[in-house]
A and B are shown apart, each in its own frame.
Chain A
């Protein structure tokens, strides 16, 4: 029996192998379980690939943007609202990334390691957004036949009221699989679009100039309709003659800003673009913005001049630029941008400890705000925006072979309407197209947003 006893003990090896397999599975489970449950074949929470447990998503003005039922997803009743908020909510096939349906899937499903989907299946959750459905529809319509992007944010609180990306589609009639993504149908242009900035970049050049060139406000710039910098002719949009820095910005004078960029130099301008926050991606409730691109390494004097007036190789993301403008409006600091209302006690605690990120020095921010206010009064016409005290900057971004994109960025200095905005009209028929769209939307804000 001694021999048999000794041999029997070797069978513990089988148990060890079994436990080893268990350990492999434990590793798989711990790292993967929360992803496994989100697969659309999980009939606990999906019906034919559509979530059944996501609950309801409401806009801040009480419009039901999405409702998930046992038969799948139901979108807003109004067609324009569906189109205007599609990129915020997401589509049924998850083709639109960076939407609530993709970035907040875990929260919508409500999976927990202990209870699994038990609570998810029995509870119905509601998500309230800071998005205003009426304002979004208005913005969508304001783009007319043109594609583009519009975003409006409360610069005191960071709440995003509108994030419209066009072209859009009706989620109830999604385009066929073959529909090409050439025109970026599935991209939220506000969060992930990259555009040539054009003249709005002069706001960043001005920032650098105000901080680093002591006598910038007392300099005068002579514009004769263009200038040769380095080996290139920089064409201006007019003949502005002798002008101060303030006038140069109001005139959006390429000559003046080409010269200022060269006074700053490659390094200084690059540093301030970085300081403005444009080149680092931000996370907005789980959605990541695409970082703007700015690169001056190996740039010549002419290149530097072009960069200073927003051409060269620079590409800017609308949301990042909106954040920069919101910081200017809010004395240099930017409250965390968000579009999901979180009223829970826990989040109010974390909110209290969270500090707003300081982007600009308060004095510089206020001076830039004054300059932008002057732009409206001098050039864009304050009468276009009665009572809103708009401070802004336009931009025209040259696009090869097509009409240029029109920009209009800025904010309302009125305490009653603390909103910063960015309007982009792609391949606009005329230079003021973005300003015109802004006029239609911004003037309605006091009526819509209560």
Chain B
């Protein structure tokens, strides 16, 4: 019996390392399909009948801008209309609201002056600066006209190009399939860890993996409760966590329970956020408090925080130490994303920029260079998404670039990182040791890896956090490391594509910012460890060992999930939208 066991151990990894790569590849394909699949259908929600039948304009989104400019969703080319005149939004109760973006106060509904709370029903007459239009249910005639317009569109070159791009999301994935494959992957991983990791840790590791095994299944009833249909982003998180847990098991097995607890708390945060995100009105009210809270947390951390590794970004709560910036990330995106009707009030935008700048500034003061950089890039993304003002962004980059240089000159330890950058092997016995070892470890793994627990990178400082990619490369192999990195790109692509179906700009902006944050963080982590970028020491979302990071990542994930799922308002609408094939006009 023992001899067969020994033989089995000897030959297990020989075969399993191929199976791991194949399984990971199929899991990746399934996740990719889930996240990127879109029904290429356009819906007409209502018709705007301008000037009693002069023009009938279809409304295809729940948030539309009305104005003279061609960038508006509903273009009314009349002199009395401003370039960007008003925003028409369907609220959670299924009624339309009209917001004046110019504060002129000349918007009337059924000849009565209206504010942005006045409900508009089907058949009501709206007057914008004296131009009258009736909001009508979509009728058969209009659909035909719409299709005619579509055909015209099809002759354009850009249309053909977009058709070609459709292959990216042409097939839907199956969550169950992804989870079954992941479960097999987890079981085989456990077997490998059974052989290679010290027996005293086996209980901790296997209990943690048992939880990881079951949670994805619990998400099926949970998804019903949260009105989620697409669990693509969640399956990605489970796969990444599995890889991350195996790395912790190899490098720091004693900390695996801590990470498991963080995962569970993260899921609770995720559930709370999903519940909140279902209701746009609630979010728009809560945003203000989130903004205040995040500033307070950062300020408190700055004053009371303890200094770990030259950065004042930890807060001790009894036995727990919390990296507050990870949680502020979630609040930051929660507070900075907005619906269209909010965005197009210029005063709002100014407040938003003041708030974001304060957040980034506080982080720089803490000396958390990596996180500040992540926030800064996210800030740029948010600024661009909300204002679209390229000039202002360019100015911000210029000013902050100069500011950043000044900060660098005051902080010699950051300058030293730049000296090491791209020359890690000449500094391999001092400042470049970690990165040089990371490259050595990654190369040692080849394409298929040495097997979990069999590398040497696990002995390095921050093996399962800052340079976790090297550990993955060494123990799982380069191919799986590439898949891990690619998943973040898929999530970003999914967030970008959510604009096609998302109900509100809030979801698109939040998802893009969250996914952008994931990718920036991934890039800084992976390419910092591998000496393509200067080493900043940030975590890899879902993978790195770190409770705060895990919780924050689950929080951010809810924004992406919301964009992929919450495509229609809560309540039933007065008139069902009409589905038509084809692309948007």
Chain A: residues with CB nearer than 8 A to chain B? 1-12, 14-15, 17-19, 21-22, 24-25, 28-29, 32-34, 36-37, 39, 41-45, 111-118, 121
Contacts and interface: CB of A to CB of B under 8 A. Distances in A.
Nearest to A27: B532
B86 to A, nearest CB: 14
Contact of A4 (B445, B493, B508, B527): B508
Given A36-B440, A42-B444, A113-B447, A12 B532 contact: no
B17 A118 contact: yes
Given A18-B523, A21-B527, A3 B448 contact: no
Contacts of B522: 18
A7 B385 contact: yes
Contacts of A2: 65, 71-73
A115 B492 CA distance: 32
B440 A39 contact: yes
Main secondary structure of the interface of B (DSSP, over half): helix
CB-based closest 3 A-B pairs: A116-B446, A43-B456, A33-B443
Contacts of A8: 385, 495-496, 498-499, 508, 512
B564 interface: no
12 contacts: A1-B505, A1-B508, A4-B499, A11-B495, A21-B532, A21-B533, A34-B443, A39-B428, A39-B440, A44-B444, A45-B444, A116-B450
A121 B450 contact: yes
A116 B444 contact: yes
B61 A3 contact: no
Contacts of A1: 61, 63-65, 73, 340, 499, 505, 508
Contact of A25 (B437, B446, B530): B530
Contact of B440 (A41, A112, A118): A41
A117 B444 CA distance: 5
Contacts of B532: 21, 24-25, 28
A36 B519 contact: no
Given A2-B71, A36-B439, A42-B440, A14 B445 contact: no
A41 B450 contact: no
Interface of B: 17, 61, 63-65, 71-73, 340, 381, 384-385, 388, 425, 428, 433, 436-437, 439-451, 454-456, 459, 474, 477-478, 485, 489, 492-493, 495-496, 498-500, 505, 508-509, 512, 515-516, 519-520, 522-523, 527, 530-533
A116 B449 contact: yes
Contacts of A10: 384
B448 A116 contact: yes
A11 B381 contact: yes
A144 B281 CA distance: 98
Nearest to A38: B440
A33 B439 CA distance: 8
Main secondary structure of the interface of A (DSSP, over half): helix
B443 A29 contact: yes
A11 B496 contact: yes
Given A4-B505, A28-B532, A39-B425, A118 B450 contact: yes
Contacts of B340: 1, 4
Contacts of A24: 532
A44 B456 contact: yes
Contact of A116 (B437, B477, B485): B477
Contacts of B474: 44, 116
Given A17-B523, A41-B436, A114 B446 contact: yes
Contacts of B505: 1, 4
A170 to B, nearest CB: 27
A44 B450 contact: yes
Given A2-B65, A14-B519, A33-B443, 14 more contacts: A1-B508, A3-B388, A7-B384, A7-B388, A14-B492, A18-B522, A28-B532, A37-B440, A44-B450, A116-B474, A117-B450, A118-B449, A121-B450, A121-B454
Contact of B455 (A41, A44, A113): A44
The residue in A11, A33, A37, A116 that gathers the most chain B C-beta atoms within 10 A of its C-beta is: A116
A196 to B, nearest CB: 40
Contacts of B485: 22
A41 B437 contact: yes
A45 B512 CA distance: 44
A115 B443 contact: no
A5 B500 contact: yes
A253 to B, nearest CB: 57
B443 A37 contact: yes
A114 B519 contact: no
A33 B61 CA distance: 51
Contact of A9 (B445, B489, B496): B496
Nearest to B451: A118
